């Protein structure tokens, strides 16, 4: 499914789900599917990841992504949407964090209190569906 074009025009299929299948692309064009925690705000999806993560490198090189709901192991649960990803500027990081908190609440706080503070810098990534790009 990762190699097929998205069929959704927006990010609505993500509503009510806890995991988002993010598909970014290698230099060769090969799709790389990864399940991520996400939040929705203003018609966009946000996720947080380590700054030196390979998916961040792929997004910096090629912002084209596909996203859709999935299980925690990455099995798709609905239609994928074509989109564009970008690193969130510092001025919007609070919005991105709020979106994530609204989807996970105390679970996210407990996870990051236990596993999250490893000293590596993190970044927020914003995904807009191709139909929503202006």
- pLDDT for residue 12: 92
H/E element, 96 = helix 93-104
Would you place residue 134 in the very low, low, confident or very high pLDDT band (cuts 50, 70, 90)?
Answer: very low
Domain count, the chain: 1
Confidence check: pLDDT of 77 > 70? yes
- The answer to whether 48 and 100 are in contact (CB under 8 A) is yes
Phi-psi region of 74 (alpha: psi -120 to 50; beta: other; left: phi over 0): left
Would residue 2 count as lying in a domain? Answer: no
Would residue 100 count as lying in a domain? Answer: yes
Instruction: Tell me which residue of 38, 17, 10, 52 sits closest to 98, measured CA to CA.
Output: 38
What is the domain extent for residue 43?
12-132
The CATH number of whichever domain residue 27 belongs to comes to 2.30.110.10
Mean pLDDT of 97-101: 92
CB atoms within 10 A of CB 1: 15
């Amino acid at each position: 499914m990762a190699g097929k074009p998205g069929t959704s025009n927006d990010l609505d299929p993500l509503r009510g789900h806890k995991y988002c299948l993010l598909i970014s692309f290698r230099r060769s064009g090969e799709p790389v599917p990864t399940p991520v925690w996400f939040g929705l705000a203003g018609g966009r999806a946000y996720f947080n990841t380590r700054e030196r993560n390979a998916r961040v490198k792929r997004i910096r090189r090629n912002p084209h992504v596909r996203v859709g709901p999935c299980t925690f192991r990455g099995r798709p649960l609905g239609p994928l949407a074509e989109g564009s990803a970008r690193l969130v500027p510092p001025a919007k990081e609070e919005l991105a964090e709020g979106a994530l908190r609204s989807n996970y609440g105390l679970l996210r706080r407990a996870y990051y209190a236990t596993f999250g503070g490893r000293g590596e810098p993190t970044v927020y990534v914003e995904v807009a569906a191709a139909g929503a790009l202006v």
